[in-house]
Amino acid sequence: MADQADFETSAGNGGETHQHVAKAGSHGGEGHLTTNQGLRISDNQNQLKAGARGPVLLEDFVLREKIFHFDHERIPERIVHARGSAAHGFFEAYESLADITRADLFQRAGERTPVFTRFSTVAGGAGSVDTPRDVRGFAVKFYTKEGNWDLVGNNIPVFFIQDAIKFPDLIHAAKMEADRGYPQAATAHDTFWDFVGLMPESTHMIMWAMSDRTIPRTLRTIQGFGIHTFRFVNAEGRSTFVKFHWKPKQGLASTCWDEAVKIAGADPDFQRRDLFEAIDRGDYPEWELGIQAFDQKFADSLPYDVLDATKIIPEELLPVRPIGRMVLDRWPDNFFAETEQVAYCPANIVPGIDFSNDPLLQGRLFSYLDTQLKRLGSTNFHQIPINQPKQCPVMNFQRDGHMQMLQPKGRANYEPNSLAAAGETAGPRECPHTGFTSFAGRAESDEQGDKLRIRPESFADHYSQARLFFRSLDPAEQAHLASALVFELSKVGLEHVRTRVLSNLVNVDPDLARRVADGLAMPLPEASPVAAPILDLDPSPALRIIRGALDLKTLEGRSVGILIADGSDGKAVDDLTSAIGDAGGRPVIVAPKVGGAKMADGSILKADGQLAGMPSVLFDAIAVILSDEGCRSLLEEAAAVQFVMDAFVHLKAIGHSKEAQPLLDKAGVRADEGVLEIGKSFLDAAGTRHWDREPKVRTLA
C-alpha cells in the first residue's frame, strides 16, 4: 500500500537478516507515526486524560513508551575522549606491502578500505568545548576484508606514563578535582601538576602537552600517531617493528592561546563545525599514513627502548615511509548512533598486524573491551551497525546475552560437534591456514625471565627526549611552551608542586626552567635527581609546527573573513572573493547586520554572518573593505575594533582598503609584511601566520 512505511532489509552479522525502518517521521508527510511496536499513533500532541481537565490515565501506553525512551536516551559517556567528532571515509593503499605484512588491506596498490575516524579531546566531558589545551584522540576503524582493525592513538606520539597500571591515577589527576568538580577540560590545576611532578616519566609528554600541538587550529590540521611500537608480520612469519604516523595534507596548524580561549566563547563547537562544513562543501580532509619500520638490530642500537611509550624515534634518524592515504568524505547520518556508539579497541587487529610487549599497550588491550560493556551496556555491542564488520561475515558460537539482535538457527551452538553427520548444520570451524596466529618469535628481551613487577633499566631515562623535543622547536614555539607552563603552573596553589615541576624542567633545559621560574616570580631550584644520564640528542626539525615541514603556506582549505559595511566597494569585494576561491580558500562575508550591507553602487551584498557573532578568531586571515563613511561608523563599534585587533595580535594577515586605515589605527595595527592593501601580495600573505610580529604584541616567557 502506498501509505505504508517503507522497509528494507540489511545483512547483519553471520548473514542473518533483520529489518529497520527506512523512512520515518511525519515532517515530510511520509508514512505514519507509530509506537516502537508498529502501532499507528492518532494523536502525538496530548496525553490521555479522564476528561478535558482530568488526571492523566495510567493506560496511556503511548505516553509511557515515549517518556520511557526519552528518559534513557543518554548512555554513560566515555571516561576519557568523551568530546568527539567523527566521519566516514576510506583508506587507499599506495603499494603492496606483502614483503613486510600479510594484512590484506596492504596487499594491493590502489585498494580502498572503508574507515570511520573519531577525533576527541581527552580531559573534558561530552559537553565541554572544542578548543581547550588538551591532547586530541585520533582513532581509525578500518573495515577490512579480514575483520575490523582499530588504530587507536593521539595527535601526540608519546604518552604521560610507561605502564598502564598508572593510567587510572593519571586520569584521576587530570580530570576535575574530586572535591570541587572543576576545572573542566583543563590541566591547569593542582592535582594534575602534583601527579606529573612526582612522575618524571611524564616530562617528555609535558613538553608536547604544553606546546602548540594541544591547541590545534582545526581537526583537519593535526597529526596522528599510533604511539606504541607494533609489529607487521608477513606470510613467512617474519616480524618487522612499526610505528604509525598520520600526516595532514592540509598542513599542521595551531592557534594562539588567546585565540583558543576566544574561540571557545565565540563558538564552542568550532572544530566540530569546521570538520562538518569542510566535508559538506566537498573539501574533504585527507591524511597520509606512514610507518617507521625497523628490526630488532635497529631497536638495539638506540639509546632508549622502543617499547617505552614516552619515547619517539626522530624522523631524521628513521624516515617515515608513506604507505597510503585516508580521505574523510561523509558525515555520520546520526551522531549518537555512530559517533557516540562507535567502540574502538586496540585489541582489534587483523592477520599481519600484531603487538609488542609495550607495557602501556598491553594494559590497553585489556582495558578497552571492559569499557565498552559498561558504556554500551551489552556484550553484544559489536552488533551495533557502526561496530559491525562491513566486508566479511561474522560466524561463531557466541549466543544470547543482553540486547542480542541476531537469530542464529539450528541446534549447534558448540564446537566441535558432529551434527553434520546427521544432515544438520554444524556451523563454522577454525582455520589454521588463514586464521590469525600471534607472532611466534621470542620476547623483545634476551631472556623471558621471571614474572616481576619491575621496569627495565632501559625505561629509566625520562629527560633526554623531553630535551630533544624542546630544542627541536622553533624559537616562537619554545616561547609558547614556556608561556603555557607559566599559565598552567600559575593555577597551581601548592607552592611545593610548582617547585618540584621547576626542578624537573631544569633537567630538560636550564633556560626553559629559568624562563618559567621568572614568569612565576619564583627562585630557580636545583635539578631533581635522575635515574639515568641525560643525553644531548640531535634536534629533530620534523617536530616543529612553525616553519616546519607541515607548515604549509597556502590558502587551500582555509577561510578569510571579509568585513564590509554600507558604502563598501562591491567590485573589490567580488574580486577578492573570487581570488580567494581560486586559491582554494573560503571567503566569508561579515557585516554589522546579518542581512548584509548596501554597496557603493546601491546593490545589497548579503552577509554570511553578523560581526558580533563572527569574530576574527574564527578565520585564518581577514580583509577589511570599507568606505570612508563605513569606516567612520565602525570606529564606534567595539566588535569591529576587536575584529581587527584580534587578527593582528593573533598574527594573521590583514588586507585592507585605503579607507579602512582609521579602523586599523584605532585597533593598534602597525604595518608589517602581513598588513597590506588588498592585492595579490595579500593572498600570498594570507596563507600563513606572521610569527615575527609576535614580540610586538605580547609578552612571552
Catalytic residues: 81, 154
Q: Which three cell numbers stand for residue 416?
A: 566441535
Q: Which helix (H) or strand (E) holds 354?
A: strand 353-354
Distances (CA, A) of 123 to 108, 120, 131, 133, 537: 39, 9, 12, 10, 31
Give the integer Cα–Cα distance in Å for 378 and 349.
21
In the DSSP assignment, the letter for residue 40 is B
Tell me the Cα Rg of the chain. Answer: 29
Give the integer Cα–Cα distance in Å for 273 and 286.
17
State the amino acid at position 136 in one-letter form: R
Q: Which helix (H) or strand (E) holds 682?
A: helix 680-685
Q: Which helix (H) or strand (E) holds 370?
A: helix 359-376
Secondary structure (3-state) at 460: coil
Are 91 and 105 in contact by the 8 Å Cβ rule? The answer is yes
Q: Which three cell numbers stand for residue 563?
A: 568585513
Give the integer Cα–Cα distance in Å for 495 and 84.
35
Burial of 561 (0-12, 13-18, 19+ CB in 10 A): buried
In the DSSP assignment, the letter for residue 34 is B
Find out whether the peptide bond into 268 is cis, omega within 30 degrees of 0.
Answer: no
462: Cα within 13 Å, side-chain hemisphere: 25
Strands 112-121 and 136-144: antiparallel
Distances (CA, A) of 91 to 142, 450, 629: 8, 42, 53
